[in-house]
Every structure is written in C-alpha cells, then in structure tokens.
C-alpha cells in the first residue's frame, strides 16, 4: 500500500508551549485513520499542519507526494476538508454553495454543474437544492459541508470532528456516507472524541494527549495492547467501600468514579460470583472497549 | 509562508471576487440606493442650501465645488465600509476565509480579492455619484469620464488602508477608532467641503499627506474639464497608499492567521 500521508517528527509551539510535540504518522490509500484525544490534545493543530495551513517548527510532511507546506497548494487540489465549525456561505442556497466552492479549485461552471446532482444525492439534499443555508438543520448543514468537501472529487478527505453536535440519526447518516467513501477508495483522516465513532469507522487510530501520540493501532489492537479484556462496572452507594475491601484483591486494576467502580479483569467469573453476595450493588459485565482504553491512557479528569 | 514574503500576485482571486459579487447581487437594490441617496442628499442639501448663501468657491458654484468632494468621500466610504465591516464578517464571523483557505487558494489571493472587491464597490459608488452630477448638470465635460478610473484607484487606496485596520481588529467596535480618528478628519481636512487653503498652515501640511486630498485634487479639475495640475504626483500618492496598505495588511493577516 502506498502511503498517502507521511509525517515525521512534527513539532508546533505556540507561546512556548508544544501543542504538537513530535508526531509521526503514516496513512495509506483507502484507509480511515482516526486521531483520538481529549480537548486540547493537539488534534486540530495536527490536521492544520498536515494540510499546510500552518508551518511546523520542525518535522517533515508529505501529502499525496507533495512536500507540505511548500507545495501545499498543489496537494490541496486533490484534498477535501470538513471543518469543525460550519463555514458555509449563509447568503447562498445549497447549490450555490457547491458552485462557488468548486470555482476555488479552478473548476469550470460546467464541470461543477455536472457534478451537482451526484453531490446533492450523496448528501441527501436533492430536494433542498435551492434552499438557503440558514434554514437547514444541523445535520443537513453537515451533509452539505461534506458534499462541498467532495466537489473536487478529492483523494484524501480531512474531517475535524465531523459529527459533533449532531443527533443520533444525523450521526448515523454521516457515518454511513463516510463508509461509502472509504469503500470507493478515498482516504479519510478524522479527529473525534466519540469512541463509538472511532470504533465503527476507523481502520486505524492514534490516541493523542498533550501533543503526542500515546498509542496507535487498529481499534482491536488498541484494546488488546492497553487494557484487560473484561470490565465489570459496579454501581451503588457502597460500591466504593466494597472496592476497597474486595476489588483491591480480585481485580487486575480498578478505578472509582463517583458511585461507580470500574473493575478491569482477565476473567470476570470470580468477581461476578462474589458480587452475587452483595444484593445492594448493581453491576454490568461487558467486554473492554475503546472508551476504557481512552480513559486509561488520558485519565478521568476533565480537560477544559 | 514567511510572514514578510513578497505578495504572491495571481488571478486566483477572481473566484472569490465572483463570490462576493454573487452575494452583493442578491441585495443590489438597497445597495445602489445607499450609494445614491447619501451623496444626493449632501449635494442637494449643502450644495443648494449652504451654497445659496455663498459666492463662487474656487472659481465655481458651491454645488459644483462640492460635487467633486462628494465623489471622493463617497468612494472612500464605500471601500472603507466594505474592507472593515464586510471584510471582518468574512474573515471572522462567517469564517468564509477559513473555508476558502482549505482549497488551493492562499491568504495572498484572499487579501487581493478583498482589495479588488472593496474597490469595485468604490467604482460603483463613483459611477452613481457621477450620474447624479450629470443629471444635475454640474459637469459638462467628457473629461468627467475619468472619474470612473479615479474611483477605482481611490477604492484600491482606501480598501488597502482599511484592511490594515481589519487585520488588527478584535471586534467591530474597534472600527470606531478608524472612522472617528481617520475617516472623519479626512472628510473635513481634504477639501471636500471647502478649499484646503482656508485651513491654518499647520493643518494644510497634515492635509497634504492625507490620500483623500490627492483624490480631490484630481476629481475637481476633471469634472471641470481641465487636466489636474499635479496629476502624476497625486496619482502616485494614491497608488503608494494602496501598495503600502496592501503589503502591510497582508503581513498582518499572515500573522493573525498563523495562530
């Protein structure tokens, strides 16, 4: 597989703080690659570096065989971007937004016009073609932003938190569209802090914190590499006290968060049997998931 | 992406100019009315009202004198408002620039598009006032057609200057400084309403370095059918303001958007 994006040793500082601190990545054609991390981990800055919108203080980037940021313009002809915040043109209709955006790529009006029906259908906005942007719902705006990012038929699409702020129906629809894109051989690079999104969509993931990649691999690898396979969540007023007496001896690891105890174990059977004795405690037994990995790697404290 | 690099001039600004034109077209009616109403009211009100009490000013009727000033300050205002308020909305509030920067278009192209777009509004404004001048019979010379390219030059000058302010602005309130401390004094010191030689000597020196003075120096003889005396010098000053403003604003925008 030929790499579409190669980044080595990226560093970017703002006011003496290393927002991106030695990131190296290799992303291949047709892959959906996810950057996962809490707020302020450096995900968006990494995307901006890869796109050549800002210059790294050190490190090298190749995007579609173009050196970035030197040759960013040539690379961006083959790139689409879905930004975190909507920046559609509010004065224009759905179709006008696509039209105007296509011109920025040097496309002729006829060429854009020819792509419109396909783009509108992909975004499920054919019936909204001549509607002005402010009257669209949040999900429709996101879909239009996605269609806009496809106007130049890009090889690589960058998506910065593509489903933040959407309701479940709208999120599922975006996910389905993104899967269609990877099925067509497009390369996707997305940032997210939704674990289910990362788990469903991404072939490979990098977990970022404090400007560094702290773990990288397929969702399964991340779980297998970083965490015990089974989780028992125990709830109730006495959960914390119970944990100090029992979990401390019978789990590989446990974490207390308010009235919940998360017990991480290789084999949950002994623990489950013991829990039968405590009728006042409720519990949930489940396989470990990406969220467990994420919380283990980046901690439970709030990031603001 | 070096902050002080030479501006990268290309025709890629044209699709952005077309975008702004498409937005403007949707509100063309009110916009054209605005370009016409303000100068007409000034010219009729001050020109006939005040002018009726005055003898000839600068060798012509007061309203004819005022008409040249009106062309200049209208074109100045058009470019300034566009570069400040609308430019800031596109850069900051609507994130239009951010969307454009994700395409093969660069910041240099965007700044150029803003300057040419704001100057286009000046051009429109200059044509509107010129029509009023013709209709009121205040100019009878074919030389007055030169007001059209002059409006574009004045527009480029004030667009570039205005973009410096936009590049520095934290919010819309900031623009009051520019209008109160730069635009309004210029309107009063640059020979729009009365000849500059009425001012005390020190203010005449200030006036001579302000770009609007040089715009008026060109517009007044052109409407009167004569070749401006200092045509090369006056045009050079306007062009210099435009070029310096373009470069300085570009550097400031590069700094601002590198964050």
Is the pLDDT assigned to residue B59 strictly greater than 90? Answer: no
Instruction: Say what percent of chain A tops pLDDT 70.
Output: 99
pLDDT at position B199, please?
94
Q: Within a 13 Å sphere around the CA of A195, how many CA atoms are in the beta-carbon half? A: 13
B117-167 pLDDT, tens per residue? 999 999 999 999 999 999 999 998 999 999 999 999 999 999 999 999 999
Residues contacting residue B4 through CB under 8 Å, at least 6 positions apart: B251
**Nearest-CB residue to A91 (from B23, B258, B259):** B23
A155-194 pLDDT, tens per residue? 999 999 999 888 898 899 999 999 999 999 999 999 998 8
**ipTM score of complex:** 0.92
**Nearest-CB residue to B19 (from A51, A100, A152):** A100
Q: Is B98 on the interface with A (CB under 8 A)?
A: yes
Q: Mean of the pLDDT values across residues B164-171?
A: 97
pLDDT at position A248, please?
76
- How far is CA B3 from each of CA A168, B13, B247, B255, B257, rounded to the nearest angstrom? 44, 19, 11, 6, 10
pLDDT at position B38, please?
86
Q: Mean of the pLDDT values across residues B110-122?
A: 97
* Binary contact (A104, B22; C-beta < 8 A): no
Distance from CA of A103 to the nearest CA of B (A): 6
Residues A17-22: contacts with CB within 8 Å, 24+ apart? A18/A211, A19/A45, A19/A211, A20/A45, A20/A46, A20/A49, A20/A56, A20/A211, A21/A210, A21/A211, A21/A212, A22/A59, A22/A211, A22/A212
The residue written with tokens 């125990």 in the block is A234
B98 contact residues in A (CB cutoff 8 A): 83, 85, 87
Exposed, middle or buried: residue A95 (CB in 10 Å: 0-12, 13-18, 19+)? buried
pLDDT at position A247, please?
75
Distance from CA of B104 to the nearest CA of A (A): 5
- CA B35 – CA B118 distance, rounded (Å): 13
Q: Which residue of A has its CA nearest to B91?
A: A87
Q: Mean of the pLDDT values across residues A146-156?
A: 96
Exposed, middle or buried: residue A122 (CB in 10 Å: 0-12, 13-18, 19+)? middle
Is the pLDDT assigned to residue B44 strictly greater than 80? Answer: yes
Q: Which residue of A has its CA nearest to B26?
A: A91
**Nearest-CB residue to B95 (from A87, A91, A92):** A87
Q: Is B94 on the interface with A (CB under 8 A)?
A: yes
pLDDT at position A95, please?
97
* Binary contact (B103, A105; C-beta < 8 A): yes
* Binary contact (A101, B16; C-beta < 8 A): no
A214-272 pLDDT, tens per residue? 999 999 999 999 999 999 999 888 888 888 888 777 788 888 888 888 999 998 888 88
pLDDT tier at A1, thresholds 50, 70, 90: low
pLDDT at position A38, please?
87
A71-86 pLDDT, tens per residue? 999 999 999 999 998 8
Phi, psi of A162 (to 5 degrees): -65, -20
Q: Is B103 on the interface with A (CB under 8 A)?
A: yes
* Binary contact (A92, B1; C-beta < 8 A): no
Q: Are B47 and B63 in contact (CB under 8 A)?
A: yes
Whether omega for the bond prior to residue A69 falls within 30 degrees of 0, making it cis, is: yes
Chain A contact residues (CB < 8 Å to B): 14, 51, 53-55, 69, 73-74, 76-77, 79, 81, 83, 85-92, 96, 100-101, 103-106, 152
Q: Which residues of B126-163 are buried (b: 16+ CB within 10 A; e: fewer)?
A: bbbbbebbeebebbeeebbebbeebbbbbbbbbbbbbb
Query: Poorest-confidence range of A16-20, B1-5, B91-95, B199-203?
Result: B1-5
pLDDT at position A52, please?
94
Q: Mean of the pLDDT values across residues B72-101?
A: 96
Is the pLDDT assigned to residue B64 strictly greater than 90? Answer: yes
Residue-by-residue DSSP string for B183-236: IHHHHHHTTSSS-GGGS-HHHHHHHHHSHHHHHHHHHHHHHHTS--TTHHHHHH
**Nearest-CB residue to A76 (from B18, B104, B258):** B104
User: What value does the mean pLDDT of chain B take?
Assistant: 94
pLDDT tier at B23, thresholds 50, 70, 90: very high
User: What value does the mean pLDDT of chain A take?
Assistant: 92
pLDDT tier at A304, thresholds 50, 70, 90: low
């Amino acid at each position: 597989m030929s790499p579409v994006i190669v980044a080595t040793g990226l560093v970017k500082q703002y006011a003496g703080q290393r927002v991106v601190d030695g990131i190296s990545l290799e992303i291949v054609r047709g892959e959906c690659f996810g950057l996962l991390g809490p707020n302020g981990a450096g995900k968006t800055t990494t995307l901006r570096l890869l796109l050549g919108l800002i210059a790294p203080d050190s490190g090298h980037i190749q995007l579609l065989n173009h050196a970035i940021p030197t040759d960013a313009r040539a690379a961006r002809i083959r790139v689409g971007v879905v930004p975190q915040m909507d920046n559609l043109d509010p004065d224009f209709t759905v179709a006008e937004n696509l039209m105007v955006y296509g011109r920025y790529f040097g496309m002729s009006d006829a060429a854009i016009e020819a792509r419109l029906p396909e783009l509108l259908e992909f975004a499920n906005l054919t019936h909204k073609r001549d509607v002005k942007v402010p009257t669209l719902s949040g999900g429709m705006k996101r879909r239009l932003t996605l269609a806009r990012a496809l106007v130049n038929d890009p090889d690589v699409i960058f998506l910065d938190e593509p489903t933040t702020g959407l309701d479940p129906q709208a999120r599922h629809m975006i996910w389905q569209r993104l899967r269609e894109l990877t099925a067509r051989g497009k390369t996707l690079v997305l940032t997210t802090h939704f674990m289910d999104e990362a788990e469903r969509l991404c072939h490979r993931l990098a977990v970022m914190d404090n400007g560094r990649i702290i773990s990288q691999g397929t969702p399964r690898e991340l779980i297998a590499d970083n965490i015990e396979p089974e989780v028992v969540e125990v709830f109730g007023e006495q959960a914390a006290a119970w944990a100090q007496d029992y979990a401390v001896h019978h789990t590989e690891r446990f974490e207390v968060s308010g009235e919940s105890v998360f017990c991480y174990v290789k084999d949950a059977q002994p623990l489950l049997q013991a829990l039968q004795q405590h009728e006042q405690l409720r519990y949930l037994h489940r396989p470990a998931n990406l969220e467990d990995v994420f919380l283990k790697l980046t901690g439970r404290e709030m990031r603001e | 992406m070096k902050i002080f690099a030479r501006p990268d001039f290309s025709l890629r600004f044209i699709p952005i100019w077309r975008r702004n034109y498409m937005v403007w077209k949707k509100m063309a009616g009110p916009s054209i009315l605005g370009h016409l109403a303000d100068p007409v009211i000034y010219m009729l009100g001050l020109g006939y009202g005040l002018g009726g009490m005055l003898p000839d000013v600068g060798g012509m009727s007061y309203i004819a004198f005022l008409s040249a000033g009106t062309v200049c300050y209208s074109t100045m205002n058009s470019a300034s408002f566009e570069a400040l308020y609308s430019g800031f909305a596109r850069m900051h509030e609507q994130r239009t620039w951010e969307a454009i920067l994700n395409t093969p278009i660069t910041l240099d192209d965007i700044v150029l598009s803003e300057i040419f777009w704001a100057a286009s509004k000046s051009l429109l404004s200059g044509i509107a006032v010129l029509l009023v001048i013709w209709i009121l019979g205040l100019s009878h010379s074919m030389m007055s057609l030169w007001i059209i390219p002059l409006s574009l030059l004045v527009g480029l000058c004030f667009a570039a200057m205005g973009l410096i302010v936009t590049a520095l602005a934290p919010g819309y309130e900031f623009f009051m400084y520019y209008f109160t401390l730069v635009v309004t004094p210029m309107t009063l010191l640059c020979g729009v309403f009365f000849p500059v030689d009425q001012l005390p000597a020190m203010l005449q020196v200030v006036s001579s370095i302000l770009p609007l003075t040089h715009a008026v120096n060109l517009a007044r003889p052109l409407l009167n059918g004569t070749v401006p005396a200092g045509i090369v010098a006056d045009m050079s000053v306007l062009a210099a303001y435009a070029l310096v403003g373009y470069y300085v604003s570009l550097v400031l925008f590069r700094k601002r958007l590198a964050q």
